[in-house]
Amino acid sequence: MCGRTCMTLAPEQVKCSCKYKTKEDKESEPKYRNEYNLGRKYCNLNLPDPSYNSAPGDICQIIVSAKNFDDNADSSERVLIPALWGIVPKWHKGDYRKHGLTTNNARLEKLTSSKLYNPALESGRRCILVIEGFYEWQTVDSKLKSSQRPVYFIQMPQGESKAKDEIKLMFVAGLFDVWNDADGDSLYSFTVITYESDKHFDWLHHRTPAILETEDQISDWLDYERIPSKEALNVIKHPKSIVWYQVSNYVNSTKNKLEQCRKPIEDVKAESNKKNSLLSWINKRKNSEDDKNVTKLEDLEENSSKRLKQE
């Protein structure tokens, strides 16, 4: 399953991190199309504080074949677009948020028989969700309440540098579609493909998002003209290089968007202990000052009483 992701980069940064080789063996980067999407905006477009916690219903960044927009384009060329997480069925009428279906994930095993997803698959509307990683709650052998389950951040192996332009991104296979409202305005939306976990991941969750680890996988999945749909499904393999670490349950709420969502739980606990120690020191100092003030007041009252008796 994949129900929460992290992506803090602006579109220009995403483009730079998604460079690829063209058929002419030249380095290129995806072109960016800032789709209107009924006025919905990508959360990290202009905000100074990026979101570390994206959920279904949010606008994310996906890569698609340029041929989906231009019949004269080469199907190997790539375009980066903002899209709503959770496919809106083409047949839906009315408010796009009220179609009543859960469409943020699509099961690989049922793609070809699905009335919702197979048309997108057969039409070449394959996409890749670009993220820094995703969050997963341990559901296997867990007797805890959902709000108490351990949660992990899963990502690709990272280098020592923490610079944003050196982040190793994760690429997840999906499908996208275009929905039009009554006025003819378009909304791009997508779903993430998942499948049964293997022994590398099944200790955490029984479903795994379709992570593409190599450039060949990415190229084959996006280039729908060169690789037909049935062959493309064979591109999806269980990931072998993903890594993870536990984070705090602060990420449980979709309202929480701060960096604390992605911090290792050890760091969160250390910061909490440090904060508690500081508060404890402040309270002790305050109590000490209060005691001194009480003593001074008692001394003043005692001296005043003595003077009155002398008078």
| Owner of token pair 């990931």 | 239
Choice among 77, 127, 136, 261 that is catalytic: 136
Identify whether 2 is a catalytic site residue.
yes
CB atoms within 10 A of CB 181: 15
Question: Three-class SS of residue 5?
Answer: strand
Identify whether 136 is a catalytic site residue.
yes
Residue 124 CA, distance from chain mean position: 25
| Owner of token pair 């052998």 | 141
* Alpha carbon separation from 75 to 22, 267, 287 (Å, rounded): 11, 45, 71
Do 53 and 36 meet the contact criterion of CB atoms below 8 Å apart? no
What is the distance between the alpha carbons of residues 273 and 295, in angstroms, rounded to a whole number? 33
* Residue partners of 297: CB distance under 8 A and separation at least 6: none
Catalytic annotation, residues: 2, 136
